[in-house]
Structure 1
Amino acid sequence: MYLVYLAGDPSIAYLHLRSNSTPPTTSNPNIPRKRVAVIGAGLTGVSSAAHCVGHGFDVQIFESRPKDKGLGGIWSRVNSTSALQVHSLMYRFHPSVHYDSAYPSQKQIQEQIISLWKRYDLERRTVFDTRITSVKKTKQGKWIINDNEGEYGQFDGILACTGVCGDPKMPPLPDQDQFGGQIFHSSNLDGKDVKGKKVLIVGGGASAIEALEFAVKSGAGEIDVLSRSDKWIIPRNVLVQSLLACNIFGQEISLSWIPEWLLRKFFYRDLEDIAPTDDGIFTQTPMANSELFNQIREGKAHWVRGDIVSVEKTGVLFNHRAKGVPKGGPGREGLIEGDVIVMATGFKRPSLNFLPNEVFDEPYSPPSWYLQVFPPKYPDICANNSTYVDAIGTVGNMHIGIYTRFLIMFLTDPLTRPTEEWMKTWIDFTRFMKKLAPTRAFDFFTYAELIYWYIFVLIINPFRWKWALFVFFGIGRSLPLIVVEQENALRRELKKQRKSH
């Protein structure tokens, strides 16, 4: 499993050799070239489109924002001081991507996305400022975008790559108009002067860590992170992160106390008080950061647990809660002074409402889909990286290619496509396997669980066996295509014989 992480994508050897050459096209006239609509020009959308083009498919990318805010997704809209939280080996979102540092900056990641976009000739295949409002299927099984077949044509498949981070989420604070300083969202900090000032960061997730890094690099005098709950924080260490992602069950198990105890004793150490007690590490996405603890130990930052009562002219009236006391519970109120308030409150989740209404019918609404990304009834729709809730692993790299190749397999080979009944059966089976999980079955997963999903789904259908090397490693597509054509020829012959009789 560790080697899989180090590779970044199991298809690296094959696709890296082709990354700088003209992508191939399907030459077999009996298997026409498929066309896929990719919705979203972020990291996942660009990578998925590159995989499609590299395997002989045609694509059209639709992005709702203009090029400067849309190409690269969230990485085109965050601060220049933002950097990758996980090791870059675990964020190789395409085999041809190479970083110069272990934790690349926002600029380096955006440059890699744009480079990939240009390398696979996706510029002429991308339309910006185009919001997708509907995707509808014709009686012939083709997809129409925004009811506009005349302009965009028809598509064989849909890759919904909207991601999980849309516009900034900035809920109002009680009496925030009284504040004498400035209030910013954590994604809008470039150029803001906080040198020597007291910075109050509202929130305790990944956005809070990024705001902390900005405040540190900008020379803030004092930093207070105001968090409503304790979050699991893990080291910026590729080995630790990989080992945690090896939980095949994707849930809290009887042995989960071991990594939790080790983290408390060897990573939190004297700061064990801010480690979660109610939530296990396999129930939420942990933050990967070591800078926070360094700043706390040096007295430059404080992690404060509690609730905001109101905003005063000189700071925030805060209800400090003891460890284990739930949100909104009793505590000690006190004023925390500050000059700047940073709202590290995350981002609104992009909508998938453009998809057919029936994909949201309970109990099979996202994320409770086949392999979490294929809605029952529609194996030709793949919501790549757009349905997960929480995870431990490299969400956003190796499985982009695997999921895209699953879609390619389904579109190319009819015998591999799952039926609606089977897709629902797989979902029900996964729910049963995770019935003891503290979260819902698809609310949390690890990378080891994803690998189990992939292997199980390939093994269960013999018609998919010939595609195994292609799905996992991106190689061997020519052989499956030959077999698919032989199967198609046999079906045509059988159909001809039935008609003659």
Structure 2
Amino acid sequence: MALIDRARSLLVFAVKNPLAFLYILLQEILAFVFSPAPPPPTGHLHRPRIAVIGGGLTGVSSAAHCVGHGFDVEIFEARPKAKGLGGIWSRVNSTSALQIHSIMFRFHPSVKWESAYPSQEQIKKQIVSVWEKYGLDKKTTFDTPVHSVKKDSFGKWIINNNTAEYGTFDGIIAAVGSCGDPKMVSLPNHANFKGPTFHSSDLDGKQVKGKKVLVIGGGASAIEALEYAVKCEAAEIDVLSRSDKWIIPRNVFVDAILSMNIFGGETSFSWIPEWLLRKFFYRDLDDISPSGKGLYTDTPMVNSELFDQIRAGKARWLRGDIVSVEENGILFNHRAKGVPKGGPGHESQVQGDVIIMATGFKRPSLSFLPDTVFEDRYGPPNWYLQVFPPQDPSICATNSTYLNAIGTVGNYHIGIYTRLLLMFLVDPLTRPQEPLMKLWIEFTRFVKQFAPTGAFDFFTYAELIYWYCFVSIVNPFRWKWVPFIFFGMFRGLPATVVEQEDRLRDSNGKAK
């Protein structure tokens, strides 16, 4: 009877919410087809053994891919479990939510979202779910900052010079991300301000109802702070931004189309999406759209409600520079569109009772890696596929060298990078040599020589797929791995071929 009732309720849900039902069904199919099976509790995981540095979304996903394919891992997280597991999603406001559609934020095939724009709590819950499902709770060391990784005489990696406690590793996944501790910039004469100052990541429990709120910054954190102030019924909200950033709609189809620019930068046709955004999205608010700054030069903000708040008179978006902080607000130099930072404008005091510093986060350091991987001209982000230092392809810095992009945080690229690393470690014939890795970097620089940013400073998701296809095709020994690289399937077949190749090499060596 219970089964019949459940089927009936599911049918009613499908009829009333057809799109939501199809999305849930799609996730179930993707999870069934592409999720690697978790290892059994008593299952033996073998080498290569991977050290994953960072317990955030990327680290957990990468480690889950490793153990799902039968390889051993150990996650090292600098913070305690409460603040470390989940990375930045464990350290932001409970009111934070995903700005892009959740179908573009499937960081692992087994993730199943219940809504299009999940909250911080839902995102953290999914990260923890993957962590537990793949038995990573037994393979995570918290409160352990990694200060050094170096190789021993056998070519194995040692973490913090401590083989007695951690053993050795065959590969390193640096998954420290791009957001560390909150960044608080220094404002001139800030001590004069009578009211409180908060960072945008620490707003839970802060009362701003009926107050005049000043948001310092013009990025995604500023929009999040603005939304928080609106929900808390602030009397006035002013966002003080030094620079202009593109804002694109919260629309999965628009975002996906924009990420399909395979050139990974500005082209002679980039004016078309920019004109369309100004005409149909900015409309009467074209004045706050960027001037002289291409859409494919910086990570855009994704939000559809911001303009509604401005049009409704609930918020203002002011362009200019902070001159000084006063007792009851900020002396602000308003700049016209197109005038650069620090340029001429007109000064006036913007009244405020509360200052919210939407100034982002400090970037975590990769300095624990060997000095050799920071070679001039070939330092991050100028690495092979942006994540493999040409000096050593047993290191993979997924989502840790990223600067700007239009794309997603999908399981697709996290999984591909992880499986590429596993392939390099398992199959010697697939490993890229340093000269060829540097040649690929130079080739990419040549292809993107007219881009307004550096070759690896900005990319699109379509460009990533091109990179993966290109490097898979150029080496015939990688062809047998293609289903595994792109979909995580049929690992057994190429692994068997590699074993035969190893036997042939051994027998030829003995014959000689």
TM-score, normalized by the shorter chain, greater than 0.5: yes
Amino acid at match of 1:18: A
CA positional deviation for 1:254:
0.2
Q: In the superposition, relative to structure 1, how do residues 379 and 17 fare at CA in structure 2: closer, same or farther (>3 Å)? A: closer
Deviation at 1:221, TM superposition (A): 1.2
Structure 1: gaps spanning 5 or more residues: 1-5
Q: Which residue is 2:40 aligned to? A: 22
CA distance in structure 2 between the aligned counterparts of 1:311 and 1:280, rounded to whole angstroms: 32
Match of 2:256? 242
**Is 1:363 aligned with 2:377?**
yes
Q: In 1, Cα distance between the equivalents of 2:42 and 2:390? A: 31
Identity of aligned residues (%): 69
Q: What is the aligned partner in structure 1 of residue 212 from structure 2? A: 198
Shift, 1:14, TM fit: 3.0
Aligned residue for 2:47, secondary structure, equals coil
- What residue in structure 2 maps to residue 212 of structure 1? 226
How far the C-alpha of 1:229 sits from its partner, in A, is 1.1
Corresponding residue to 1:261 among 254, 275, 290? 275
2:84 is the counterpart of 1:70: yes
Name the CA distance, whole Å, in 2 between partners of 1:100 and 1:432. Answer: 44
8 Å CA contact 1:230–1:274 kept in 2: the answer is: yes
In structure 2, C-alpha distance between the alignment counterparts of 1:222 and 1:141, rounded to whole Å? 60
Equivalent position SS for 1:437: coil
1:49 equivalent to 2:71? Answer no
2:27–2:112 contact (8 Å) kept in structure 1: no
Select the residue among 171, 178, 193 that pairs with 2:185. 171
Q: Where does residue 240 of structure 2 map in the other structure?
A: 226
Task: Choose the corresponding residue for 2:116, options 102, 120, 123.
Answer: 102
Contact 1:87 1:237 (8 Å CA) reproduced: yes
TM-score w.r.t. length of structure 1: 0.95
Partner of 2:326: 312
How far residue 212 of structure 1 moved from its aligned partner, in angstroms, is 1.1
Aligned-residue offset at 1:379: 0.7
Counterpart of 2:108 in 1: which secondary structure?
A: coil
In the alignment, which residue of structure 2 is the partner of 1:477?
Answer: 491
Find the residue that maps to 1:154 and give its secondary structure: coil
Using the TM superposition, give the Cα deviation of residue 10 of structure 1 relative to its aligned residue in structure 2, in angstroms.
11
Please list every run of 5 or more consecutive structure 2 residues that lacks an aligned counterpart in the other structure: 1-24
1:426 to 2:440 alignment: yes
Distance 1:76 1:495 in 2: 53
Matched-pair contact (CA < 8 Å) for 2:31–2:111 = no
Please, which of 143, 161, 166 is the counterpart of residue 152 of structure 1? 166
Name the count of aligned residue pairs. Answer: 488
Query: Is 1:39–2:39 an aligned residue pair?
Result: no
Deviations, residues 221-271 of structure 1 (Å, cap 9, x unaligned): 111110001110001100000000000000100000000000000000110
Contact 2:213 2:229 in 1 (8 A): yes
Query: Match for 1:162: what amino acid?
Result: V
Q: How does 1:338-377 map to 2 (within 5 A)?
A: 338-377=352-391
Q: Point out 4+ residue stretches in structure 1 off by more than 4 angstroms.
A: 6-13, 23-27
The residue type paired with residue 477 of structure 2 is F
> Hey, what does 1:445 align to over in structure 2?
459
Correspondence for 1:303 among 317, 326, 338? 317
CA distance, structure 2, for counterparts of residue 255 and residue 26 of structure 1: 53
Using structure 2 for the length normalisation, give the TM-score. Answer: 0.93
Offset at residue 26 of structure 1 (A): 7.8
Residue 390 of structure 1 contacts residue 444 of structure 1 at CA under 8 Å; is this kept in 2? yes
Q: CA deviation at 1:218?
A: 1.1
